[in-house]
Structures are given as C-alpha cells and as structure tokens.
C-alpha cells in the first residue's frame, strides 16, 4: 500500500470485537462504524475503508466469517478476484482479503483433507441406459460429512476445513449434456461465486468404465437443497466501461461522503451530498461494469451557501466539469447525480468549478478539497450568534456632556456583542491566502442618556488568538471591526480597552467639533466560540 493502513486494521478489529462479524458484513453499518472508530483519520484512509465496504457488499466478509481460517489458497484467490472484478485494484483487493483473514475466527472443528469420504451408492443403469437413475430413499442414505480428496500425507500439506453435514436425499442425476452445461456455466461464474465454494457436496455422478465419478458441490446457492442449479449465463455479465464515461446516474445507492465537501464563491456554491463506489455506469442495455482494473464513482450535487447569502445563485451557475488525470469531462445536463468511470492507474479525479473569476476543485478519490480552494467558504457554519451584553467605564481627560446636560469625566457604556461572521470578500479585497478569512464583529454600545447604538472605535478593540496574540486588524472603516484570521478558526477573544485621541464639539456651536480630548476605556475581554 502507498500509505500505512494500520489504523484501519485496528478499527476493523474493534468493530468485530464489539459488534461481531454479522455487523461487519453489513456495508452501510460497517462504513459508519469504521468512520466513527477512525474519527479525524477517516478521510486519510478512505480508500482502505471503501475496500472493506466493497468486501462486505460482495459477500467476502460473510464468507471469511463462515469459513474462518480454513479457506484454502484457491478460495482465497477467488475472493481476491471477486473484488478485482468489482473494480478494486489488485493490490487493494489483496490487502482487503488478507486483512479480513488476519481477523478471521479459527474453525470450531478441524477436518484433515486426507479423511476418506463415505461411499455413495447408486443403482447403475443398464447398458445404454440414461443417467437419470434415482438414488436410494433418504432414510437409507448416510449423512455425508464433506471432505477434500486425499492429498499428500505430510502434516505440512494438510488443509483444515470445518465439517459441513449435507443430507443426501432422493436426487435425480443430470444427463451428460446437462453436466457439461453446468460445468461450462460454473467455469464462467466461478470467480463471482468464489465465497460459496467453501466445501464440496454431491452434484452428479457419471458412469464411465464401470465406475462413478462424483462431482461434489455445496447446496449453498439453493435453499431447497438442490445440487443442480446452474450458474448465471455468461451473457448476463455487463460489458466493461472504457474508462472515459461520465453519465447521469440512474437509481443507485450512493453513500454519503465521510466529511462535508463543498466549494463556495461570492455568488454561488456547490456541495457533494453523496460520493462513493457504484456498480454500473449507464442504464438498461447501455449499462456497463467498471473498467478493467478501474472503478466507478457516483456523486450527487446540491446548492451550498455562497459568501453573499441569502442572495446566492443555484449551483448550476458554477461552471462545473470532472477532470480525470487532467482530461476534462463535461457534466450531462438535466441531472444532479452522476457516475464517472475511473480507468486503472488514474491518479486524480476532480470536480472542478469556476465562478467569480476563481477556480476551485474537489478530489473525488481522496474526498478532499484542493490546496487553493477558499477554505472558509467550505465551512458548514460561518455565522455565530454571541448575544453578550456588559458594561464598561469610559474616561475622558476633560469634562464632557454625554447627553444628559451634565459635564462629567466618566460614563458607563453598555456594550453588546451581537455576533460574528466569517467571510472572504470585502468589496475587491481578499485575505492574504485562500486558507485565511475575514472575521467581522458586530459590536455596538449605548450611553445611559443616548440609547442610539454606536459602533466601537476599532482602535479600542483587538481580537486575540488562544495564545493571546492579536490578529491583524483590517481597515474597513473607523467603527467596523474586521480582522484577518485562519479559515479554520474555532475560538477567539475580543479584547476591549485602551486610549485614543478624539475631538469634541463646541458647547456654543455643535456644528464645530474641534476640541481635542483623550478617551480611555476600561479593559474587558469576551470569549467568542466559533464552532
């Protein structure tokens, strides 16, 4: 593997330990439990998680849980081939099977492959007769405890399988032509049904040279116990996609992504609400399976808040397309769900959008935004109500009238911190990096004799990080509090206080304000939760 998957193995072991193999065999439940167990690491190990989910979907988990460590090399290879045929890369498919086998339970009872099988007697037809001979009634038939043919006598060459009791009832043997058809069909379907070939059971007996050759098969495919159900016809297998397709998705179960995936611009935004592997591209007679060694990815798009909320345009206004290793594929019109064929060896599959002169992209393989995306506009929440009100004393170095006819040198301000908004655009201005954001503080105050809300002078306000370091202030106006902060900021502290010079209006002429004075505000800090 290109990256270590030990956390995924540990998470799977915890799922099996706490919830059992039946839970691990349910794809949607397995994905949810692995995501919970991995937490913040889920996005990093998405490919490994999806491989295990596919193993659950294809019955590999159930097969390994049933057979335990008794699976022979051929059966293990069949499980791996099944995942490859679904679309997993050989290395990823092998890892998934090995990981599941490493956690598989030991069989409850070991049966050596050299154990002789009980003889099954059948009435031979007369010379020239058909093979439609009926076996003896079930009451006279032994219960066959299935074993493999005898092999090397050394202990190192022995293979252990769990015993499976198969009652043999009155069964009509097929004709030679029927047996030939079954063998041909079984050869075609063998890889897809690898997990069902855990132990052999009786299929047919052929009369040749005076002896009976028993073809043994389990009745797992047919609950009625019939051992002659032929495999699916090779004609039912869908052709493989070329690896260049991008179509509207038909009714397919596409899982939700492990994290919020969105791109926002000034006037529009788009979100991926579903993203994951699917089984076909196209529909009906046009349906195709995953390209050889590749995969099929389904995804669904929806609106996402823009910077200019609530005046946002639909997501279709963003010029969107998919790029596979740099090759662009346009989105089909009239749909919101799509399937893209990913060829073997593809290194990047991106949803690319452009609006307001800015291009952004989301990786569909890694479920992650590109480094140059506007990080703050991908946040699920950018507005926070604070609603804190408190009083702080203002001092002046000369007596002033604050609206009640008295001239004093101190007065109580009633300050209210209404809320916080994170954004990316202030007119034509932008933060210094796509990973940065503008934080706007809505703060006002009133005087006891003047209840008209006023803005706080930005020279009396600072925004501090958790270490007490101030964030850079942005000059957006004398009483507009804006700071440049990291886009992923989760908390901050508003610090009010300090001194600055001002001018007061003359008492004899309020139209002339040229009398200088200094205002000093007592210090007060307010914690701002931003997550």
Q: Are residues 319 and 433 in the same domain?
A: no
Is 236's pLDDT higher than 70?
Answer: no
Q: Is residue 109 part of a domain?
A: no
Q: Is residue 378 part of a domain?
A: no
Domain boundary among 88, 103, 118: 103
Whose CA is closest to 413, among 437, 443, 433?
A: 443
Whose CA is closest to 405, among 364, 455, 449, 361?
A: 449
Task: Compute the distance between CA of residue 37 and CA of residue 12 in angstroms, rounded to an integer.
Answer: 8
Q: Is residue 65 part of a domain?
A: yes
Q: Are residues 357 and 400 in the same domain?
A: no
Q: Are residues 362 and 399 in the same domain?
A: no
Q: Are residues 411 and 492 in the same domain?
A: yes
Range of the domain at 26: 5-103
For residues 345-354, average pLDDT? 96
Task: Compute the distance between CA of residue 94 and CA of residue 52 in angstroms, rounded to an integer.
Answer: 11
The whole-number pLDDT of residue 212 equals 35
pLDDT digits (tens, 9 = 90+) for 451-481: 999 999 999 999 999 999 999 999 998 889 9
DSSP strands (E only) in 402-490: 407-423, 436-447, 450-455, 461-464, 473-475, 481-486
Task: Compute the distance between CA of residue 351 and CA of residue 30 in angstroms, rounded to an integer.
Answer: 27
Q: Are residues 473 and 362 in the same domain?
A: no
Q: Which residue has the higher pLDDT, 253 or 92?
A: 92
Task: Compute the distance between CA of residue 293 and CA of residue 87 in angstroms, rounded to an integer.
Answer: 6
Q: Is residue 118 part of a domain?
A: no
Tell me the CB-side half-sphere exposure of residue 171, using CA atoms within 13 A.
22
Q: Are residues 328 and 390 in the same domain?
A: no
- Residue 418 and residue 387 in contact, taking contact as beta carbons nearer than 8 Å: yes
pLDDT digits (tens, 9 = 90+) for 107-135: 654 444 344 444 444 444 444 443 333 43
Q: Are residues 342 and 398 in the same domain?
A: no
For residues 162-182, average pLDDT? 42
Is 69's pLDDT higher than 90?
Answer: no
> What total of structural domains would you count in the chain?
3
Q: Is residue 476 part of a domain?
A: yes
Q: Are residues 448 and 484 in the same domain?
A: yes
Is 105's pLDDT higher than 50?
Answer: yes
List Cβ neighbours of 308 (8 Å cut-off, separation of 6 or more): 266, 267, 425
For residues 43-60, average pLDDT? 88
| Span between the terminal Cα atoms of the chain, in Å | 35
**DSSP code string of 335-370:** -SEEEEEE-TT---EEEEEEETTEEEEEETTTTEE-
Q: Are residues 352 and 436 in the same domain?
A: no
Q: Which residue has the tokens 């210094």?
A: 432
Q: What percent of the chain has pLDDT over 70?
A: 75
The whole-number pLDDT of residue 517 equals 92
78-92, 104-118, 301-315, 369-383: the lowest-pLDDT one: 104-118
Whose CA is closest to 36, among 64, 66, 15?
A: 15
Q: Is residue 464 part of a domain?
A: yes
Most confident of 321-325, 475-479, 503-507: 321-325
> How many angstroms from the chain centroid is the CA of residue 500?
53
Q: Are residues 340 and 442 in the same domain?
A: no
Q: What is the CATH number of the domain that holds 465?
A: 2.60.40
The whole-number pLDDT of residue 50 equals 86
pTM for this entry: 0.57
Q: Is residue 84 part of a domain?
A: yes
Q: Are residues 349 and 392 in the same domain?
A: no
The whole-number pLDDT of residue 27 equals 85
For residues 14-33, average pLDDT? 85
Q: Is residue 293 part of a domain?
A: yes
What is the chain's length? 531
Domain boundary among 373, 398, 424: 373
Q: Are residues 318 and 262 in the same domain?
A: yes
Domain boundary among 103, 135, 169: 103
pLDDT digits (tens, 9 = 90+) for 403-461: 888 999 999 999 999 999 999 999 889 999 999 999 999 999 999 999 999 999 999 99
């Amino acid at each position: 593997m290109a990256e270590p998957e030990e956390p995924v193995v540990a998470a799977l072991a915890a799922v099996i330990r706490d919830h059992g193999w039946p839970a691990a065999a349910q794809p949607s439940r397995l994905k949810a439990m692995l995501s919970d167990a991995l937490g913040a690491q889920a996005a990093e190990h998405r490919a490994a998680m999806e491989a295990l989910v596919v193993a659950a979907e294809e019955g590999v988990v159930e097969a390994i849980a049933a057979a335990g460590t008794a699976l022979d090399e051929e059966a293990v290879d069949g499980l791996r081939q099944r995942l490859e045929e679904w679309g997993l890369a050989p290395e990823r498919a092998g890892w998934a099977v090995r990981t599941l086998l490493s956690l598989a339970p030991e069989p409850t009872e070991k049966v050596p492959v050299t154990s002789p099988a009980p003889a099954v007697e059948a009435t031979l037809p007369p010379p020239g007769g058909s093979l439609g001979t009926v076996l003896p009634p079930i009451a006279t038939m032994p219960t066959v405890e299935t074993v493999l043919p005898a092999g090397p006598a050394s202990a190192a060459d022995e293979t252990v399988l769990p015993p499976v009791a198969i009652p043999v009832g009155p069964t009509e043997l097929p004709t030679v032509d029927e047996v030939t058809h079954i063998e041909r069909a079984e050869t075609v379907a063998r890889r897809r049904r690898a997990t069902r070939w855990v132990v052999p059971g009786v299929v047919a007996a052929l009369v040749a040279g005076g002896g009976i050759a028993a073809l043994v098969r389990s009745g797992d495919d047919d609950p009625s116990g019939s051992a002659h159900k032929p495999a699916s016809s090779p004609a039912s297998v869908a052709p493989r996609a070329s690896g260049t397709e991008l179509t509207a998705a038909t009714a397919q179960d596409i899982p939700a992504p492990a994290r919020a995936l969105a791109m926002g611009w000034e006037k529009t935004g788009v979100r991926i609400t579903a993203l994951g592997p699917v089984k076909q591209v196209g529909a009906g007679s046009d349906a195709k399976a995953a390209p050889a060694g590749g995969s099929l990815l389904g995804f669904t798009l929806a609106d996402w808040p823009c910077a200019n909320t609530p005046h946002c345009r639909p997501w279709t206004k963003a010029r969107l397309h998919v790029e596979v290793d740099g090759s662009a594929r346009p989105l089909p019109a009239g749909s919101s769900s799509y399937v893209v064929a990913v060829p073997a060896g593809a290194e990047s599959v991106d949803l690319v959008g452009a609006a307001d002169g800015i291009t952004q992209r989301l990786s569909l393989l890694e479920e992650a935004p590109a480094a140059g995306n506007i990080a703050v506009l991908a946040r699920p929440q950018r507005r926070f109500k604070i609603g804190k009100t408190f009083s702080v004393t203002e001092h002046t170095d000369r007596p002033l009238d604050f609206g009640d006819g008295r001239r004093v040198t101190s007065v109580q301000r009633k300050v209210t911190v209404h809320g916080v908004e994170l954004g990316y655009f202030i007119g034509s201005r932008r933060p210094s990096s796509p990973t940065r954001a503008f934080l706007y503080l809505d703060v006002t105050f009133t005087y006891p004799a003047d209840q008209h809300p006023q803005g706080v002078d930005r020279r009396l306000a600072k925004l501090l990080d958790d270490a007490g370091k101030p964030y850079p202030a942005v000059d957006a106006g004398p009483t507009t509090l804006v700071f440049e902060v990291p886009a992923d900021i989760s908390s901050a502290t508003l610090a009010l206080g300090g001194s600055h010079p001002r001018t007061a209006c003359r008492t004899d002429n309020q139209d002339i304000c040229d009398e200088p004075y200094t205002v000093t505000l007592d210090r007060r800090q307010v914690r701002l939760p931003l997550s």
